[in-house]
Amino acid sequence: MRARRGRLLAAGALALGVLLADGRLGADTSHGSIPERVALDNEAVKVTVLTMAPGSSSGIHINAEPEMAIVTEGELTLVTRNGRQVYKPGTVVWLPPMTGHEARNESKRPVKLYALGLKRCE
């Protein structure tokens, strides 16, 4: 357990470095209606920069691994079985594994966020 925690902390520190560099080393991998750019993808974490246009939605989905998001611009609306919550810039969102959710931009301005998909470290 201690080794896993250490690897997650190392992955988090690495992800923070990428965030501070604004993902300048990542490749552009836009998909669907929400442009995204993978800033880092290794065995521990995948960091994706997403820009959501006004009125866009991720659709309801479930991630097998835990996910964290950091909102940097605009207001992100997140809908889960626990309800609907709006997150402003500077807010960090935590989603445990297997949490069904939908990310929406219900505002008139773009939303930019960093999504960190934490992978299993064996």
How far apart, in whole angstroms, are the C-alpha atoms of residue 78 and residue 121?
A: 27
Tell me the CA distances in angstroms from 9 to 13, 16, 21, 86, one per residue in order: 6, 10, 18, 27
How far apart, in whole angstroms, are the C-alpha atoms of residue 69 and residue 91?
A: 8
How far apart, in whole angstroms, are the C-alpha atoms of residue 88 and residue 28?
A: 25
- Domain ranges for the chain: 2-118
Q: Is residue 15 classed as helix, strand or coil in its secondary structure?
A: helix
What confidence tier does 120 reach under pLDDT thresholds 50, 70, 90?
confident
Residue 27 has pLDDT above 70, yes or no: no
Tens digit of pLDDT for each residue in 46-101?
A: 999 999 999 999 999 999 999 999 999 999 999 999 999 999 999 999 999 999 99
How far apart, in whole angstroms, are the C-alpha atoms of residue 109 and residue 20?
A: 23
Q: Is residue 6 classed as helix, strand or coil in its secondary structure?
A: helix
Domain 2-118 falls in which CATH fold?
Answer: Jelly Rolls (2.60.120)
Burial category of 52 from C-beta neighbours within 10 Å (exposed 0-12, middle 13-18, buried 19 and up): buried
Enter the pTM of the model: 0.71
Residue type, 19: L
Q: Which residues contact 90 (CB under 8 A, 6 or more apart)?
A: 71, 72
Residue type, 46: K
